[in-house]
Amino acid sequence: DTGVSQNPRHKITKRGQNVTFRCDPISEHNRLYWYRQTLGQGPEFLTYFQNEAQLEKSRLLSDRFSAERPKGSFSTLEIQRTEQGDSAMYLCASSRPTDTQYFGPGTRLTVL
């Protein structure tokens, strides 16, 4: 059990640029989640995958955000035309069915 990994750990970008983050879940976990955490707040749910199917999306996930999990293993979260309000920590978690969610270390995004 190597844990959930996320890359990159930090990303600094200019407003208007596109960014992509990657999450590698724990290998036997078929469920994968993305959350966003802003400074001083708890994580907020963004989206959820069961295998390769995206089953739930939060209203926080605007049209500029897209997430994929093409083969039911790793997942990517892309943000197009970044805005300063997108600056946050993006967290990935994975789990077995009906089991605890295990979180990765997060990707910290700073939009200048």
Partner 1 sequence: GDSVTQMEGPVTLSEEAFLTINCTYTATGYPSLFWYVQYPGEGLQLLLKATKADDKGSNKGFEATYRKETTSFHLEKGSVQVSDSAVYFCALKRDSSYKLIFGSGTRLLVRP
Nearer to partner 1, 104 or 109 (CB): 104
Q: Is 56 in the site for partner 1 (CB under 8 A)?
A: yes
E strands in the chain: 5-7, 10-13, 19-24, 31-37, 44-50, 53-57, 65-68, 75-79, 88-95, 102-103, 107-111
Considering CB under 8 A, how many residues would be counted as binding partner 1? 23
Q: Is 45 in the site for partner 1 (CB under 8 A)?
A: yes
Find out whether 11 and 106 touch, Cβ atoms under 8 Å.
no
Of the listed pieces 15-23, 35-43, 61-69, 73-81, which binds partner 1 according to CB under 8 A? 35-43
Six-digit token pair at 57?
A: 């999306």
> Contact positions toward partner 1, by CB under 8 A?
4, 31, 33, 35, 40-45, 48, 55-56, 58, 91, 93, 100-106
